[in-house]
Amino acid sequence: MKNKPYDSWEDVRKKLNISKEQEAEIQLEKDIIEATIEARKKSNLTQRELSKKSGVRQPVIARIERYVNSPQTSTLIKLLYPMGYTIRVVPLEELESK
């Protein structure tokens, strides 16, 4: 039997039985990875250059940027700090008002 393509994210969520909290977690991870990629590009660094500055191996950076691996907080800090960035916890109300 062939796998049927899904019509929407809602169909996928129902099939996988993903809760709203799990969906929020997935979105947060995606947003963090996208922000890290954007920071690297704004810093005009290749993955290899960021690897030398951060001590994080280039293949690890590549897997994170391809959404293959979930980055640990310590890895994110190692990547972001040499580029002049950090991670901040903000109230949800701040995000919702934007």
What DSSP state is assigned to residue 15? H
Lookup result for tokens 């890290």: 36
**Burial of 35 (C-beta count, 10 Å sphere; 0-12/13-18/19+):** middle
Between CA 83 and CA 38 the distance in angstroms is 11
- The string of pLDDT tens digits covering residues 49-96 is 999 999 999 999 999 999 999 999 999 999 999 999 999 888 878 767
List domains and CATH numbers for the chain: 19-92 (1.10.260.40)
- Contact partners, residue 70, CB within 8 Å, separation at least 6: 29, 64
**Burial of 79 (C-beta count, 10 Å sphere; 0-12/13-18/19+):** buried
- The string of pLDDT tens digits covering residues 32-47 is 999 999 999 999 999 9
Distances in whole angstroms, Cα of residue 28 to Cα of each of 22, 37, 87, 88, 92: 10, 14, 12, 13, 12
pLDDT of residue 44: 97
Q: Largest Cα–Cα distance of the chain, in whole Å?
A: 51
